[in-house]
Each structure stands twice: as C-alpha cells, then as structure tokens.
Amino acid sequence: MIIHMVEGSSEIEADRVVERIKSDYGLFCESIVGTGSIVIGVKGIAGVIDEGRISELPGVDRVIRITEKFKDASRSFHPEDTIIDLGDLKIGGKNLTIVGGPCAIESEKQAIDSARLARDAGVDVIRTFVDKSRTSPYDYRGLEIEKGLEIAAAMRKETGLPIVSELIDLRHLEAFLKAGVDIIQVGARSAQYSPLLEELSLLNVPVILKHGMGNDLNEWLCSAAYIMSGLDRLGRPSHRGNPNVILCYRGIRAFESATRFSADISMIPLVRMKSHLPLLADPSHSSGDKKLVERVAYGFVAAGAGGLEFDIHSNPEEALCDGSQAVTDEAERIVSTSREIHALLHNYGMETGKSTELTSSISS
C-alpha cells in the first residue's frame, strides 16, 4: 500500500500517518519526500489496514493498494530511484558503477595482479570471489575460505576500492563481514534460496543480486523483495529489512547455445521501469566469451544499465575459472567507453530509470 499526501502537506502530518499505521497495525512505513509531495510506503502485508480510516487522516490525498508480489522492489511502491551510499561511491540513480576483477581468487599473485589491472582500468568495485559455486564438483571451487578472505582483504588494501564477494554458505557470513567485504553477491545458483535472502535482510550491507538462470522478471524481483521486506516466515513484520539491493542482469538459459546464456537487451529498460533498485549487467557471464564482452557491455549501458560487472584477469590463459570470458588490457577501454555512452544518455536525460515511461504496469 502507498499513501499519497496532498501537495503541500507537512512532514508532521506524514509522521502522524506513519505513527498511526505503526500503533494500529504494527507495520513499518517508508516516507519518500519529493518536491512538494510526500509518498508513504507501507512495508509488510498491508491487507489488514482499513483503507477508509487512513484516507480520513489529515493531509492524506489517496491510498493505493499494490498487487505486485515484489512490492518493496517495485517502482510503484517507491517511485524514486534508490541510491546506495558506499563510502564515496553512490550506486543507482544517475550513477554508472563498474565492478570488475577476476572470476575467482586463485593465488595471492594472480589476485593482486588482477585487482591492480581492474583498478588501473578505472573500476569502482573489485571482484574478490573466494567461494565459487560451479556446475561440476570437479571444477575449481576456490581456495580454503580463510585463505581466500585474507587475499580478498589484501586486494581491498592494495587498491583502496570496495570489494564484492559471493556468499554461498551462510556459515561464512561472519567471516566475510570481518574480512571487510563491502558488498555481498548472491549468485544465479542461489538466487531463490530464501534462507540466504532472509539472513541478508537482517543486515544493512549492500547485496548484488543475480537472477537464477531460469528465473523470469517477477521471480527475480521477488528474490529482491525477500531481502528488503523484513517479514518473517509467518508474514509478520519483524525488522526493517535491507533496502540496499543492487540487481545484476546475467541472462537466462534459453534455446540458443552458441552464447553461454541468453541476454535480452530489452530487459534492461524494462527492469528499470519496474524497479527503483540500481541495475547492473554482466557481459562476461551472459556471453561467456571475451570476444563478445566489450560490445555486449556497451549494449547494456546504452540500454540504460546503471553499471556493469565483468571478469578482468591478469593472465586469462592460465585462469582456473572462466578465463575464456575475462578481459585484460581491453578493460580500460570498456570502462572509459561505457562512461562516455552513459554521459551521452545523460545529455538526453535518459540515464535513470525514472526517465523510462511508466505505463499501466503500475497496479493499484
């Protein structure tokens, strides 16, 4: 449910509505103060709310029920782009955020060399993947966790940049946070594993969420809502949830097998239309081929992605994981040209999801 306050109503009136909903129904609210108007989003299951009583409160203009199953992630619930602050870095909205680094940490030398290459190319966040979920158990699955995290921390120190690492096993969460992992990634293979998503909802740490290789848009955004909603298993509001979700599009399994996965460029503007969350796209894991990565990256940015995540490796020929889709010296040009394309969109006022026409997809 969202509550539009009348234009010019005060924040005090909005606070009274928020208090009323909390005291009468035990639900949390999120207020979005725009220019001249305030919109209140009710978190949790708002079916219990008596719409009539809320409509009569001073300053309330209209009450709208949201039927989308991914409410917290939906733009109808939260019309403004979400911008996540990570130190000096701002992710979402008009910003272009580039994440790069090796697919996996293999050794200290390989990791530091690759991190330097990524930093010098101009990325904003370094990939420091310690634990790898691989299709086959016989493939390289990463170093021993403690050793891997030690190297991840060294990559952070060496570059001075924030780091992202994929969390597969909840038992490693504490060690990840202790090692200074700035962003936790949920990979395609765990994208619908609700115990992991629920645990991440208790934190404030930003989460990059991939979609499962067979997931559609609704399922993906529902996974985001698991991290954001703060509802317990019985549907009770138990905490505020984690609002710091960053989506990352990586393509799905489809009929075509010539590319690793099938990435649908039209998903980029569509997701930005449907969701206020920052949206990255991954040209490495979608195309699976370093010869394709650069052009696919530009396609994603031109379509309106708010950033990229791709594999950068100092010596891909020797890589133990995904060397065929990692770039080296091309990384710098990919970063700088992506920023130029993004700046071009900025000139047309098209760099944010807000610029995408909202259509009848908003339900009430």
Instruction: Name the site residues for ligand PEP (rule: CB under 6 A).
Output: 103, 129, 187-188, 210, 250, 285
CB of 41 to ligand PEP, least distance (A): 29
DSSP secondary structure letters along 211-262: --TT--HHHHHHHHHHHHH-B-TTS-B-S-----EEEEE--B--S--SSSSB
CB-nearer residue toward Mn ion: 42 or 126: 126
The rounded distance, in Å, linking the Cα atoms of 151 and 144 is: 11
Give the full edge-to-edge strand order of the sheet including 60-64.
29-33, 38-42, 2-5, 60-64
CB of 17 to ligand PEP, least distance (A): 41
Choose the contact partner of 187 out of Mn ion, ligand PEP, none; CB within 5 to 8 A by kind.
Answer: ligand PEP
Choose the contact partner of 142 out of ligand PEP, Mn ion, none; CB within 5 to 8 A by kind.
Answer: none
Choose the contact partner of 188 out of ligand PEP, Mn ion, none; CB within 5 to 8 A by kind.
Answer: ligand PEP
CB-nearer residue toward ligand PEP: 210 or 290: 210
CB of 188 to ligand PEP, least distance (A): 4
CB-nearer residue toward ligand PEP: 39 or 103: 103
CB-nearer residue toward ligand PEP: 114 or 352: 114
- Three-state DSSP state, 354: helix
Which residues make beta-bridge pairs with 41? Answer: 2, 30
Choose the contact partner of 210 out of Mn ion, ligand PEP, none; CB within 5 to 8 A by kind.
Answer: ligand PEP
CB of 130 to Mn ion, least distance (A): 13
Residues engaged in binding Mn ion (CB under 5 A): 103, 322
Please provide residue 219's backbone torsions phi and psi, each rounded to the nearest 5 degrees: -65, -40
CB-nearer residue toward ligand PEP: 129 or 176: 129
Identify the DSSP state of 339: H
CB of 227 to ligand PEP, least distance (A): 16
- Which amino acid is it at 71? K
CB-nearer residue toward ligand PEP: 43 or 132: 132
CB of 314 to Mn ion, least distance (A): 16
Choose the contact partner of 276 out of Mn ion, ligand PEP, none; CB within 5 to 8 A by kind.
Answer: none
- Three-state DSSP state, 341: helix
H runs (alpha helix) in the chain: 11-25, 51-55, 108-121, 145-159, 173-178, 194-200, 217-229, 267-274, 283-287, 290-302, 330-347
Neighbours of 65 (CB within 10 A): 13
